[in-house]
Structure 1
Amino acid sequence: MTPAPAVSLNGARSAADGPAVPMSPQDLVEAALASVAAGAVEVLVHPRTPCGRQSLSPRVVGPVLEALRGAGVGVPLCVDASIGAEPGPAGRLERVRSWSVLPDRAAVSFAEPGAEELAEALLARGVPVEAVVPLGGPAGPEPMARFLAWPVRTPGRVRLAVELAAADPALVAGLRGLPPVAVLLYGREAAAWPVLRLAARCGTGGRTGVGDVLHLPDGRPARSNAELVAAARAVWEAEGTGPTAASR
């Protein structure tokens, strides 16, 4: 199977992080199309208001999703539903319940308050959930404990996205006894490429994109999301082909 990661188009970045970060709907469309052409099998987007603020408002999320789909981005679209877009748990619930255009998946951080209720609200609307759990970092074991205590872990409707602070095989080994849901591994900044290599060796899903990392494996600044996706495919081929993000 051809190695193909998911792509995080913009993450929590701002325009100050450089020209490789797409912000406007048109920039996101162009970045998504180029990333898919380079091999990305799923697109994670953090919708922004015209002033650049992350938002879960239906007036922001809907037009971004419509623009992406209307332009022919045919892979699944995931929207981040984190505290960065709406600080309060009640506000996040209100926002996702008011969406008129639904993503193919929504990312919910189990390191944030109200994660379980938010995930259940999304599932009730028919939106599969990406349960984001950091491992090996300052959050400690609590996010994973919260995910394991959450009773809704239906394969096909829930995917576990594990953010690793470092490419530690021992952390991944501990995932083998988890419920039978798909797993995607990713890292940020200095951990991004080592974790992608680990994901390729372990056969999980993987992810790249300027939302996670701004440099290529050789340290050069990335010019675009598509360049990162192409580099990730090369890394995957070198390390051993695993499942794509979409097939997990």
Structure 2
Amino acid sequence: MVRLCVNGARGSADGAVVPLSPGAVADSVAEAVAAGATDVHVHPKTPCGRDTLSPRVLAATLEAIGGHVPASVPVGVTTGAWAEPDPAARVARIRSWTVLPDHASVNWHEPGAEETAAALMERGVGVEAGIWSGTDGAARFLRSPLGPQVLRVLAEITDTDPATAPGSARALLAALGRAHGRSVLLHGEDGGAWPVLRLAGRLGLATRIGLEDTLVLPDGHRAASNAELIDAGLREWTSARRKGA
């Protein structure tokens, strides 16, 4: 699986290519799905471009995407603490959602991760355990009674040095061990995005690519769209997987 990560915490300062409004997000997702993306992760944005868990904004974003892509393509959202720092308020937001995503990521190193995951599960939303390198997320996740119930693990490599990011990825995967028997999606960011994507291919793991993780193509040129990144990502991941088989 090569997932599209649409926009992340990026904003207008990252260029007009990054989709922010529900309409722009939906158009970008449709183009990327046509290019081969089979799953979607998006950060709904306020009109000023800030990540939010607002039920109104979430509904507008999910409904816009739903009008452009087949229902068979799962769509997930973030629950990052930067979108709602207070854990109790974050849970209240989730309980107020009127339109539900297929899945949502929960960063296990953040305060309130267990409560956030439990609230999502109560609503029937699949939970993706976000485990960031350089944090205690892996240890906390392995101790969690909710670990066996998550949909999958998102192993996120925060090391952006292309030379060392693959090593950081291997270290995080070793720390996760069997990861409660959950499947793992491995990805990097910025300078580490492409090296870690290739490693995911060699290891036979799912991965993701998109403007959240990188603004450039493997050759260093600026990406014109999420679809262009997905097209390149599929080629790089497939090639690496063949070499690793």
TM-score by length of 2: 0.91
Partner of 2:137: 143
Residues 163-214 of structure 1, C-alpha deviations (whole Å, 9 max, x = no match): 1221123443444433110100011100100100010011111000001100
Partner of 2:162: none
Contact 1:32 1:73 in 2 (8 A): no
Partner of 1:235: 236
Q: 1:51 aligns with which of 40, 48, 60?
A: 48
2:115 and 2:171 map into 1 onto residues whose CA distance is 31
1:70 aligns with 2:67: yes
1:163 maps to a residue whose letter is E
Higher helix share: 2
Identity of aligned residues (%): 47
Q: 1:22 aligns with which of 19, 22, 25?
A: 19
1:217 maps to a residue whose letter is P
Partner of 1:246: none
Partner of 2:99: 101
Q: Secondary structure at the match of 1:130?
A: strand
2:102 and 2:139 map into 1 onto residues whose CA distance is 26
Structure 2 unaligned runs (5+)?
A: 160-164
Structure 1 unaligned runs (5+)?
A: 243-248
Deviation at 1:84, TM superposition (A): 2.0
Residues 77-103 of structure 1, C-alpha deviations (whole Å, 9 max, x = no match): 001011121121111111001101100
Partner of 2:227: 226
Q: Secondary structure at the match of 2:166?
A: coil
Q: Secondary structure at the match of 1:103?
A: coil
**Aligned CA distance change for structure 1 residues 110 and 171 (closer, same or farther; 3 Å):** closer
1:27 maps to a residue whose letter is A
1:12 aligns with 2:12: no
2:23 and 2:87 map into 1 onto residues whose CA distance is 30
Partner of 1:177: 178
Number of aligned residues: 234
1:159 aligns with 2:152: yes
2:242 and 2:94 map into 1 onto residues whose CA distance is 36
1:98 maps to a residue whose letter is S
1:240 maps to a residue whose letter is R
Deviation at 1:238, TM superposition (A): 1.4
Of 7-16 and 71-80, the range deviating more from structure 2: 71-80
2:124 and 2:238 map into 1 onto residues whose CA distance is 35
Q: Secondary structure at the match of 1:22?
A: coil
1:236 maps to a residue whose letter is W
Deviation at 1:126, TM superposition (A): 0.3
Q: Secondary structure at the match of 2:180?
A: coil
Question: How does 1:29-40 map onto structure 2 within 5 Å?
Answer: 29-40=26-37
1:133 and 1:203 map into 2 onto residues whose CA distance is 19
Contact 2:142 2:176 in 1 (8 A): no
Q: Secondary structure at the match of 1:49?
A: coil
Runs of 4+ in 1 over 2 A off after TM superposition: 71-74, 169-178
Residues 105-162 of structure 1, C-alpha deviations (whole Å, 9 max, x = no match): 0011112100011001100110010110112x3x2xx11111111112336x421001
Partner of 1:245: none
What is the aligned-residue RMSD (CA, Å)?
A: 1.5
1:25 and 1:194 map into 2 onto residues whose CA distance is 31
